[in-house]
Structure 1
Amino acid sequence: MKYKKSREATRLESNGDGGSQKGGGDVPPSIQLDIMEHRGAAAAGGGGGLGTGGPGSASFFEPWPEPTPGSGSGHGSSGRAGGQEPPEKRLTLFALRLAVLEKAASGLGKLDFVWATVVLLGGFASTLCITDFWCVTVILVGEGARVISRSHELEWQHYATQTSTAGGALRSSSRFFRHIMRAIVDPAAAAAGGGGGRDDDARARAALFQRQIVAFMRQRAWHAPDVSLLPYTGWVFVSRKIGRLLNWLQVLSALACVALSVMRLWKHDFGDPDDSRNMRPALLLFYTLALVEALLFLFEKAYWTWKVSVCKLLHQVSDECELGAYGLVSLKRFFYDAYSRCIAGSIFDGIKMDLVTFAEELILSDFLDEQLIAVRILQQFANSERSASDTLRKVGTTPRSIERLVEMLNWKRPEEEEVRRCAAEIVSKLAGKRQNALRVSGIPGAIESVTSLLYTGRGPPVSGMHPQLPGAPADDKHGASPASRGYDHLPFNLLGLLILKRLARDHDNCGKIGNARGLLAKVINFTQASPVLLRNPHVTDSQVSAVKRALKVVKMLVSTTGNTGKALRESVAENVFTVSNLRDILRYGQQHRELQKLATDVLTGLAMDDSGKEAIVATGGVVKLLLSMFFNSQETELGCEAGKALAMLALESEAGCAAILKRADVMDQLVSALQDGDARRLNAARVLRNLCAYSGQQQRERLRVVTRALPAVLKATMVDRDKILEVSVGLTTVICKFIDGEQFAAELRGAGVADERAYVERLASILGQYRYPEIRVPRMRRFVVQQVIWLVTNSGGRGDDGGGYVELLTEVGMQRLLESIADTTSELECYHVFSGSVGISKHRKSFSDIVDSALELIDGRRQR
Structure 2
Amino acid sequence: MIIRLFAAKVIAELATSLRAIAVPGIVQAVSALLDYGDQQKKGHPLLQGADAEHKIASGSSVMNGNDKNDNQNQRVDEDLGTGSLLETQDRSTQCGASNNENSWKLRWWKRISGIWSIPHEEQLTEEDLLPALGMSILDGLASCDKANCVEISRETGLIPKIIDFTGYCNFESDAHQRVLVKSSVKLLHSLTGFDGEIGVTLRHKICRHPFLPRNLAHILGDSTSSQELRKLLAGIIRKLAIDTNARQAIGRSRLIISRLMHAFITPDGTSDTDDDMLLRKVSGQALAMLAMDSSGNNCVAMLRETGYAPVKELTCMIHDDRFRCIAASLLRSLCLHARHELKATDLKELSSGLREVLERILRAEGAELEIVIGLSSQISKAIPEEFARELEHGEIKQAFMKRLVDVLGANMQPSSDCPGIRRMILEQAINLMEYNSRYVNCFNNRRMIDALSMVEETISEAENYNIILGDVGLVEANEALPSLVARAKQLLASIASAYPSHHGAGQEGEATAMPERRLNCFVRSVALMERVGNALGTLAFTWATVALLGGYPTALRISDDFWYATAIFFLEAARD
* TM-score, length of structure 2 as denominator length: 0.65
Please state whether the residue corresponding to 1:832 is helix, strand or coil: strand
Matching residue of 1:756:
397
Q: Is the 8 A contact 1:501 1:549 kept in 2?
A: no
The 1:564/1:793 distance shift into structure 2, 3 A limit, reads same
Distance in 1 of aligned mates of 2:155 and 2:236: 20
Match of 2:326 in 1: 683
Q: Give the counterpart of 1:613 among 234, 238, 247.
A: 247
Q: Determine which of 714, 720, 724 is the counterpart of 2:368.
A: 724
Q: Is the 8 A contact 1:589 1:595 kept in 2?
A: no
Distance 1:650 1:449 in 2: 40
Percent of pairs identical after alignment?
Answer: 28
Whether contact under 8 Å (1:713, 1:728) holds in the other structure is: yes
- After superposition, give the CA deviation of every residue in 1:110-139 in whole Å (9 maximum; x if it has no partner): xxxxxxxxxxxxxxxxxxxxxxxxxxxxxx
Instruction: Verify the 8 A CA contact 1:671 1:709 in the aligned structure 2.
Output: no
Does 2:413 correspond to 1:772? yes
**Structure 1 CA distance for aligned equivalents of residues 294 and 391 of structure 2:** 31
Say whether the 8 Å CA contact 1:657–1:691 is kept in structure 2. yes
Give the SS at the match of 1:833.
strand
CA 1:459–1:822: 2 relative to 1, 3 Å: closer
In the aligned structure 2, how far is the partner of 1:831 from the partner of 1:747?
A: 31
Match of 1:486 in 2: 76
- Any conservation in 2 of the 1:497–1:550 contact (CA below 8 Å)? yes
Aligned residue type for 2:189: K
Distance 1:657 1:820 in 2: 35
Residue deviations 1:519-545 (CA, integer Å, cap 9, x gap):
2222123334546449x9xx8xx9855
Matches within 5 A, 1:262-301: none
Once the two structures are TM-superposed, the CA of residue 598 in structure 1 deviates from its matched residue by: 0.7
Aligned to 1:59: none
1:649 is aligned, of 287, 290, 306, to 290
Shift, 1:683, TM fit: 0.8
In 2, the alpha carbon distance for the partners of 1:776 and 1:697 equals 31
Kindly indicate whether the alpha-carbon contact (under 8 Å) linking 2:347 and 2:383 is maintained by their aligned counterparts in 1.
no
Q: Does the alignment pair 1:514 with 2:94?
A: no
For residue 431 of structure 1, report the CA deviation from its aligned partner.
3.0
Moved more, 628-637 or 700-709: 700-709
Q: 2:312·2:346 contact (CA, 8 Å) conserved in 1?
A: no
Aligned to 2:184: 550
Alignment of 1:413-432 (within 5 A): 414=1, 417-418=2-3, 420-432=4-16
The match for 1:638 is 279
Q: Deviations over 1:128-182 (max 9, x none)?
A: xxxxxxxxxxxxxxxxxxxxxxxxxxxxxxxxxxxxxxxxxxxxxxxxxxxxxxx
8 Å CA contact 2:254–2:301 kept in 1: the answer is no
SS of residue paired to 1:839: strand
Query: Hey, what does 1:710 align to over in structure 2?
Result: 354
What displacement does 1:591 show? 6.4
Provide closer, same or farther for how the CA distance between residues 575 and 691 of structure 1 changes in structure 2, counting only shifts above 3 A: same
Deviations 1:174-220 (A, max 9, x none): xxxxxxxxxxxxxxxxxxxxxxxxxxxxxxxxxxxxxxxxxxxxxxx
Task: Find the residue that maps to 1:841 and give its secondary structure.
Answer: strand
Q: Which residue of 1 aligns with 2:301?
A: 659
8 Å contact from structure 1 (residues 531, 584) kept in 2: no
How far apart are the structure 2 equivalents of 1:852 and 1:549? 52
Quick one: which amino acid aligns to residue 424 of structure 1?
A: A
Contact kept in structure 2, 1:507 and 1:561, CA below 8 Å: no
Contact 1:660 1:666 in 2 (8 A): no
Alpha carbons of 1:519 and 1:702: their partners in 2 closer, same or farther (altered >3 Å)? farther
Q: Which residue of 2 aligns with 1:359?
A: none
* Residue number in structure 2 paired with 1:446: 26
Aligned to 2:488: 854
**Cα distance between partner residues in 2 of 1:821 and 1:707:** 31
- Is contact 2:169-2:177 (8 Å) kept? no
- Contact map agreement 2:171 2:224 (CA 8 A) in 1: no
TM superposition shift of 1:643: 1.0
CA–CA distance in structure 1, aligned partners of residues 457 and 160 of structure 2: 49
Q: Counterparts of 1:572 and 1:457 in 2: how far apart (Å)?
A: 19
Q: 1:629 offset after TM fit, Å? A: 0.4
Paired residue secondary structure (1:679)? coil
Query: How many Å apart are 1:717 and its aligned residue?
Result: 1.4
Shift of 1:617: 2.3
1:630 is displaced (CA, Å) by 0.5
Q: In the alignment, which residue of structure 2 is the partner of 1:627? A: 261
Aligned counterparts of 1:785 and 1:544: Cα–Cα separation in 2: 51
1:599-634: CA deviation from partner (whole Å, max 9, x where unpaired): 001111222223322321232411100000011225
CA RMSD of aligned residues (A): 3.2
Give the drift of 1:583. 2.2
Q: Any residues of structure 2 matched to 1:382-531 within 5 Å, and which? A: 414=1, 417-418=2-3, 420-433=4-17, 436-440=19-23, 443=24, 445-456=25-36, 458-460=38-40, 483=71, 484-487=74-77, 488=80, 490-491=127-128, 492-505=130-143, 506-528=145-167, 530=169
Q: Structure 2: which amino acid aligns with 1:769?
A: A
Which one has a larger percent helix, Structure 1 or Structure 2?
Answer: 2
State the alpha-carbon separation in 2 of the partners of residues 816 and 590 from structure 1. Answer: 60
Written as runs of structure 1 = structure 2, the 5 A alignment for 1:306-385 is none
Post-superposition offset of 1:785:
1.7
Return the alpha-carbon distance in structure 1 between the equivalents of residues 304 and 341 of structure 2. 13
| Partner of residue 316, structure 2 | 673
Secondary structure of the 1:526 match is helix
Amino acid at match of 2:383: I
Alignment deviations for residues 568-617 of structure 1 (CA, whole Å, 9 cap, x no partner)? 33432333432233223323367622211110011112222233223212
One-letter identity of the residue aligned with 1:685:
A
> Helix, strand or coil: the match of 2:34?
coil
1:485 & 1:708 partners in 2: Cα distance?
A: 68
2:551 maps to none
CA shift in 2, pair 1:807/1:611, >3 Å: closer
Q: CA deviation at 1:829?
A: 0.8
- CA distance in 2 between counterparts of 1:431 and 1:724 reads 38
1:111-122 correspondence runs (5 A):
none
**CA contact 1:692–1:703 (8 Å) conserved in 2:** no
Q: Distance in 1 between matches of 2:282 and 2:292?
A: 16
Report the secondary structure of 1:775's partner residue.
coil
Q: What is the CA–CA distance in structure 1 between the aligned matches of 2:362 and 2:191, rounded to whole Å?
A: 40
Give 1:739's match in structure 2, choosing from 383, 389, 404: 383
Q: Secondary structure at the match of 1:678?
A: coil
In structure 2, runs of 5+ residues without a counterpart are 45-59, 66-70, 81-125, 499-576
Shift of 1:497: 0.9
Please tell me whether the aligned partners of residues 500 and 553 of structure 1 are also in contact (alpha carbons under 8 angstroms): yes
Residue pairs, 1:41-52, within 5 angstroms: none
> Equivalents in 1 of 2:381, 2:37: separation in Å?
60
What's 1:262 paired with?
Answer: none
* CA–CA distance in structure 1, aligned partners of residues 376 and 208 of structure 2: 37
Q: Partner amino acid for 2:486?
A: D
1:786 to 410, 427, 438: 427
Asked whether 1:595 is paired with 2:249, we answer no
Distance 1:429 1:683 in 2: 38
Q: Offset of 1:730 from its aligned partner?
A: 0.1
Residue identity opposite 1:726 in structure 2: E
Q: Which amino acid aligns with 1:862?
A: A
State the 1:763 CA deviation.
1.4
Preserved CA contact (<8 Å) 1:778 1:828: yes
Closer, same or farther: CA 710–839 of 1 in aligned 2, 3 Å: same
